[in-house]
């Protein structure tokens, strides 16, 4: 890639034809919105949306010790995976902090790691270096693969009619591989919106043809495109972490409330002793959710959080939730204040009242029905 030149996904021209507002994100020129961010959030919650997520990275791990390698560098336990299963996990530093969060797919002869776009090159080099000790092959497949996310309550009916098959047997965090128009596709029941949905992977040369077919059939199901703006609010409404906000190389998964993805029983993995101490004794800071009826004050990353008049943390992600019609935020606070119920967030030099809210903010989505 030329220095300073933005990358494009295979669907760039499609976005332009659909009048998307394009922005720079993770080195890519990506659609921020089409009809409007708030409209796209609500449409995803109520009907059916399609997202271009081809900017995400795909890294394949091959070799006899691939499972042992992944067990060492991630928080979860890849030994529990069988073919067709997907696992959420955290890529760790030796300090127990987060290099990235990712999905691990157990393929027939390898593992496929789907990583955040902003960390693709960093993750690849990190895995490759440690992989040398395990004699595993680490391959960056990102430039060869497209990824589409179909999300919303109408996702299963659409998928079943489009592919002319049942998807009831494909459970959450499972995937299937199939041939479609003589092309191989991987379809997982995963997503980043909290709604029922599927993510479709395939060879980039088939990307435009497939997208055209999907949009044509999708019209019957009121499918609409959605951009990065809606994707960010949707994940925030679910309390899902975003790398660079809730997760960084200074934050551990325990601090981020991801203890359930840290399998401390594993014999050996990066940062084990540090994470074990945090699980047993508690972390010094905790990620919590805040909500407010005060519409005028939208919390943003970096805003200070107060409790009992004391500055005890800061916002990592904040937005107006069109579904809840309230302002919401994720924030890190000192552990001793994490159980409090009333807080204030300083917005434009004014302290706005917020209350603690259990996550996710949106409780009853199509994924849970």
State the residue for tokens 């706005």: 352
Residues pairing with 277 in the sheet:
none
CATH homologous superfamily for the domain 284-358: Aminomethyltransferase beta-barrel domains (2.40.30.110)
pLDDT value, residue 1? 47
| pLDDT in single tens digits along all 369 residues of the chain | 455 689 999 999 999 999 999 999 999 999 999 999 999 999 999 999 999 999 999 999 999 999 999 999 999 999 999 999 999 999 999 999 999 999 999 999 999 999 999 999 999 999 999 999 999 999 999 999 999 999 999 999 999 999 999 999 999 999 999 999 999 999 999 999 999 999 999 999 999 999 999 999 999 999 999 999 999 999 999 999 999 999 999 999 999 999 999 999 999 999 999 999 999 999 999 999 999 999 888 999 999 999 999 999 999 999 999 999 999 999 999 999 999 999 999 999 999 999 999 999 999 999 987
The length of the chain is: 369
pLDDT value, residue 2? 52
Domains of the chain by residue range: 12-55+144-235, 284-358
Q: What is the DSSP letter of 56?
A: S
CA–CA gap between residue 369 and residue 364 (Å, rounded):
7
State the residue for tokens 């200074």: 250
The reply to whether 284-358 shares the fold of 12-55+144-235 is no
Backbone CA torsion sign across 170, 173, 176, 180:
positive
CB of 104 within 8 A of CB of 76?
yes
Give the HSE-up count for residue 195: Cα atoms under 13 Å, Cβ half-sphere.
27
CA–CA gap between residue 155 and residue 138 (Å, rounded):
33
Backbone CA torsion sign across 52, 55, 60, 61:
negative
> 12-55+144-235, which class in CATH?
alpha beta
pLDDT value, residue 4? 67
Q: How many CB atoms lie within 10 A of CB 364?
A: 8
Which residues fall within 8 angstroms of residue 182, CB to CB, at 6 or more apart?
none
pLDDT value, residue 60? 98
């Amino acid at each position: 890639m030329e220095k300073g030149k933005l990358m494009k996904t295979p669907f760039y021209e499609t976005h332009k034809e659909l009048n998307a507002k394009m922005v720079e994100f993770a080195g890519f020129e990506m659609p921020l919105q089409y009809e409007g961010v708030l409209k796209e959030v609500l449409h995803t919650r109520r009907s059916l949306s399609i997202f271009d997520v081809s900017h995400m990275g795909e890294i394949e791990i091959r070799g006899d010790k691939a499972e042992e390698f992944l067990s060492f560098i991630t928080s979860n336990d890849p030994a529990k995976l069988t073919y067709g299963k997907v696992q959420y996990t955290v890529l760790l530093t030796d300090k127990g902090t987060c290099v990235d969060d990712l999905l691990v797919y157990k393929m027939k002869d390898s593992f496929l790691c789907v990583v955040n776009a902003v960390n693709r090159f960093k993750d690849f080099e990190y895995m490759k270096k440690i992989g040398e000790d395990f004699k595993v092959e680490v391959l960056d497949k990102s430039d060869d693969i497209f990824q589409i996310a179909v999300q919303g309550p109408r996702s299963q009916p659409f998928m079943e009619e489009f592919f002319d098959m049942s998807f009831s047997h494909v459970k959450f965090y499972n995937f299937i591989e199939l041939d479609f128009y003589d092309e191989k596709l991987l379809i997982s029941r995963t997503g980043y919106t909290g709604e029922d949905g599927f993510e479709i992977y395939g060879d980039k040369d088939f990307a435009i043809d497939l997208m055209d077919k999907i949009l044509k059939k999708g019209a019957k199901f009121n499918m609409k495109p959605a951009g990065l703006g809606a994707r960010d609010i949707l994940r925030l409404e679910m309390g899902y972490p975003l790398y660079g906000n809730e997760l960084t190389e200074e934050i551990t998964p325990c601090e981020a409330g991801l203890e359930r993805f840290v399998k401390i029983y594993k014999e050996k993995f990066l940062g084990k002793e540090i994470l074990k101490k945090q699980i047993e004794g508690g972390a010094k800071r905790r990620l919590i959710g805040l909500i407010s009826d005060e519409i005028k004050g939208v919390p943003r990353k970096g805003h200070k959080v107060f409790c009992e008049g004391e500055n005890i943390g800061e916002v990592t992600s904040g937005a107006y939730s069109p579904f809840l019609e309230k302002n919401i935020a994720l924030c890190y606070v000192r552990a001793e204040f994490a159980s409090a119920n009333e807080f204030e967030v300083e917005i434009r030099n004014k302290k706005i009242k917020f209350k603690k809210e259990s996550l996710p903010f949106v409780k009853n989505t199509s994924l849970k029905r």
